[in-house]
Amino acid sequence: MIYYKTEEEVELIRESCLMVCKTLAYAGSLLKPGITGAEIDAKAEEFIRDNGGIPGFKGYGGFPGTLCISVNEQVVHGIPSDKEFKDGDIISLDCGVIMNDYNGDAAYTFALGDVKEETMKLLRVTKESLYRGIGQAVKGRRIGDIGYAIQDFAEKQEGYGIVRELVGHGIGKALHEDPEVPNFGRRGRGILLKENLVIAIEPMVNLKTKQVVQENDGWTIRTKDRQPSAHYEHTVVVRKNQAEILSDHSFIEEMIKTNKELKQV
Ligand code: MG
Ligand code: MG
């Protein structure tokens, strides 16, 4: 069942998405070698609650954290832990916030310190693939056009592995609504995109193999070959000529300029 949103609902989702991105920027500002995911997660939860939001992931399906924190070979759904980050890590922070009963969802992969150029390129391509997917989220296209654009760029042109097991999603009163939004697909296939469909687009791109496994913690997804993986996510609303991005990575990207531990992607 697909729920198309009213303009009022779109505005409420936008508010939640902005809080998500401010939280990601705040959490990212704390990143440095020696700090732990658990410390960042506690601060992020405090930040969201101080600003009148509810952490959308905490307790969702039993997930223990406010953020999903996935480091290096971890793809998504990493549980914040007491392990210290180190120079050269890539760290995906994924955040959900509920405000006024509506969910927002966005993610960003940060480069801490001296990250290998090969891995920096993976981050840049994954981020670019997200925007290529968003470019297809317009009235009259189909869901497969989004996945095709992402896959064509990241997999066919750049030779990376796109994760098949996890996909983007509709979003609204529920964190995960219909439709599924795969990061792979065929042009002209899948449901027709109509105005006011709100979806989270979130390519997960691996340096080498597309294959992933789940850790014994029941949550963390990592690459089978333990090579790095990147993840960027926006929540967008389908419009007539161009998708409107409801989340806003500029809060994050401005912050990165001020945290000298982080490398600009
Ligand atoms: Mg997310
Ligand atoms: Mg999502």
Closest ligand (CA of 181): 2
What are the tokens at 3?
């729920």
Gap between the Cα atoms of 100 and 56, Å rounded: 12
Q: How far is the CA of 134 from the centre of ligand 2 (A)?
A: 14
pLDDT of residue 121: 98
Q: How far is the CA of 261 from the centre of ligand 2 (A)?
A: 27
Residues measured by CB to lie within 5 Å of ligand 2, the ion: 105, 200, 202
Gap between the Cα atoms of 55 and 191, Å rounded: 31
Q: How far is the CA of 121 from the centre of ligand 1 (A)?
A: 22
**DSSP states of 32-73:** -TT-BHHHHHHHHHHHHHHTT-EESSTTGGG---SEEEEETT
What are the tokens at 66?
């406010």
Residues measured by CB to lie within 5 Å of ligand 1, the ion: 94, 105, 107, 233
Q: How far is the CA of 34 from the centre of ligand 1 (A)?
A: 25
What are the tokens at 253?
């990207």
Q: How far is the CA of 104 from the centre of ligand 2 (A)?
A: 9
Q: How far is the CA of 200 from the centre of ligand 1 (A)?
A: 8
**DSSP states of the chain:** ---PPPHHHHHHHHHHHHHHHHHHHHHHHT--TT-BHHHHHHHHHHHHHHTT-EESSTTGGG---SEEEEETTEEE-PPP-SPBP-TT-EEEEEEEEEETTEEEEEEEEEEESS--HHHHHHHHHHHHHHHHHHTT-BTT-BHHHHHHHHHIIIIIIT--EE-SS--EEE-SSSSSEEEEE-SS--TT-SSBP-TT-EEEE--EEESS---EEE-TTSS-EEETT---EEE-BEEEE-BSSS-EE-S-THHHHHHHHH-TTEEP-
Q: How far is the CA of 43 from the centre of ligand 1 (A)?
A: 18
User: Does the N-terminal peptide bond of residue 179 adopt cis geometry, omega within 30 degrees of 0?
Assistant: yes
Per-residue pLDDT of the chain (265 residues; tens, 9 = 90+): 999 999 999 999 999 999 999 999 999 999 999 999 999 999 999 999 999 999 999 999 999 999 999 999 999 999 999 999 999 999 999 999 999 999 999 999 999 999 999 999 999 999 999 999 999 999 999 999 999 999 999 999 999 999 999 999 999 999 999 999 999 999 999 999 999 999 999 999 999 999 999 999 999 999 999 999 999 999 999 999 999 999 999 999 999 999 999 999 9
This prediction has a pTM of: 0.98
Q: How far is the CA of 39 from the centre of ligand 2 (A)?
A: 23
Closest ligand (CA of 107): 1
Ranges of each domain in the chain: 7-263
Contact between residue 67 and residue 94 where contact means Cβ atoms under 8 Å apart: yes
pLDDT of residue 244: 98
234: Cβ–Cβ under 8 A, 6 or more apart, which residues?
A: 106, 130, 134, 200, 201, 202, 245, 246, 247, 249
Closest ligand (CA of 97): 1
Closest ligand (CA of 176): 2
Closest ligand (CA of 76): 1
Gap between the Cα atoms of 152 and 136, Å rounded: 13
Q: How far is the CA of 106 from the centre of ligand 1 (A)?
A: 5
Closest ligand (CA of 70): 1
Closest ligand (CA of 68): 1
4: Cβ–Cβ under 8 A, 6 or more apart, which residues?
A: 194, 195, 196, 197
pLDDT of residue 128: 98
Q: How far is the CA of 52 from the centre of ligand 1 (A)?
A: 20
Q: What is the CATH number of domain 7-263?
A: 3.90.230.10
Q: How far is the CA of 105 from the centre of ligand 1 (A)?
A: 5
Q: How far is the CA of 210 from the centre of ligand 2 (A)?
A: 19
Q: How far is CA 227 from CA 71, 116, 230, in A?
A: 11, 12, 10
